[in-house]
Structure 1
Amino acid sequence: MSNILTIAMPKGRIFEEAVELLRKADYKLPPEFDDSRKLIIDVAEEGLRFILAKPMDVATYVEHGVADVGIAGKDVLLEEERDVYELLDLKISHCYLAVAGLPDTKMNEVAPRVATKYPNVAEAYFREQGEQVEIIKLNGSIELAPIIGLSDRIVDIVSTGRTLKENGLSEYERIINVTSRFIVNPVSYRMKDKQIDEMVTRLSEVV
């Protein structure tokens, strides 16, 4: 097994905050790292390889061992239920999962529908509430669903709440707070425990 430690990272805001955290932990990442359009970036002097992926795919890469470790939102981990170890709460990219819909509207009592890109989380939440709902899986523009009459409610990630307000929606319930977590492949943790433990220690000191 290679001595290179492969890290799966989500593109976007989490990537930017995670890179800042790694630099604080004294990992020497080159300046061009931030603006690179490459999907695989090698940082040979640190013995690291980065795979840039969609946030929902990070845990999949780690579970299947193409990445040793990764940084993934708790929302993704709850939804995907991948076979990975969650070693550290990095306390970055704070947001939360919430139930939202048009203001002052009740759920349809006959066949309530909930649109979301988190079908497993949404189904579990409403089941806990004793409500039987039809889950409609969407991949984007979730806010559109109640506006056009596709659903009574949505379950989605909320950061500032601005997107909900701009689309005339109200938040009804908060499901769970979300931050990004440091995850590891179980086999990699046995084979590369020293490298992984060192990274966890260094990150723990700056979280």
Structure 2
Amino acid sequence: MKDILTIAMPKGRIFEEAADMLRKAGYQLPPEFDESRKLILDVPNEKIRFILAKPMDVVTYVEHGVADVGIAGKDVMLEEERDVYEVLDLKISECYLAVAGLPDTKINDVAPKIATKYPKVASSYFREQGEQVEIIKLNGSIELAPLIGLAERIVDIVSTGRTLKENGLVELEQICHITSRLIVNPVSYRMKDEPIDELVERLSKVIGG
């Protein structure tokens, strides 16, 4: 595996956009690549192996060296705070983190409850605002929390705002802009500097395009 570059990528929208970028950068990915349900995809002609994972797990794989390189959202990077190098903003899968809730909801004066997948980011944000809040970590369907009385507010990713609107929620504050980043394992950066530098250079040309 010494001469193989292993890349961890999230399934879904980021995978599709990243695969398109890699093709534009000249990497020959097979047509069936996009439809495959396999979790490990080998592309021998390019000496690349792909690991498909949940977004939060990509940074773990890269930090522990089972993947040399990864593609991860800035939201995951902020939340996980892993020991990896962030080498390139791919400028794909653009969205932002925001605070949202039901309109005209009275906020608990003592410690409003905030539901989120991003407890570290949310805690840091409200601390910077000088607000004391209670964070409730959820793993999915964050929009449910205000509807069932679990929390007064949520902190979540917003792309089009459609999900918020369909659930009767309104955006209250934007926290930060999010794009996908190319991340690298520090040891791999030393051991496999040539293929990694080539990957960065080719992707940079696509971005600058």
Q: Same fold (TM over 0.5)?
A: yes
Aligned partner letter, 1:67: A
For structure 1, the residue ranges without an aligned partner over 5 or more in a row are: none
Amino acid at match of 1:86: E
1:113-132 pair list within 5 angstroms? 113-132=113-132
Q: State the partner residue of 1:156.
A: 156
- Residue 34 of structure 2 corresponds to 34
Secondary structure at the aligned position of 2:93 is classed as coil
Q: CA deviation at 1:128?
A: 0.2
Structure 2 residue matching 1:100: 3-state secondary structure: strand
Deviations 1:4-53 (A, max 9, x none): 00000000000000000000000000000000000000000000000000
- 1:52-201 matched pairs, under 5 angstroms: 52-201=52-201
CA distance in 2, matches of 1:77, 1:191: 23
Which TM-score applies when normalising by structure 2?
0.98
In structure 1, distance between residues paired with 2:151 and 2:141? 13
Q: Does the residue aligned with 1:23 lie in a helix, a strand or coil?
A: helix
Structure 2 gaps of 5+ residues are: none
C-alpha distance after superposition, 1:74-115 (max 9, x if no partner): 000000001000000000000000000001224210231000
Secondary structure class of the residue paired with 2:163: helix
Question: Structure 2: how far apart are the matches of 1:104 and 1:186?
Answer: 48
**Residue 205 of structure 1 corresponds to which residue in structure 2?**
205
Between the aligned partners of 1:104 and 1:124, the Cα distance in structure 2 is 25
2:7 corresponding residue in structure 1: 7
Query: In 2, Cα distance between the equivalents of 1:41 and 1:28?
Result: 13
Q: TM-score, normalised by structure 1?
A: 0.99
Secondary structure of the residue aligned to 2:121 is: helix
| 2: CA distance, partners of 1:137 / 1:147 | 16
Which contiguous aligned blocks of 4+ residues in structure 1 show a shift greater than 3 angstroms?
none
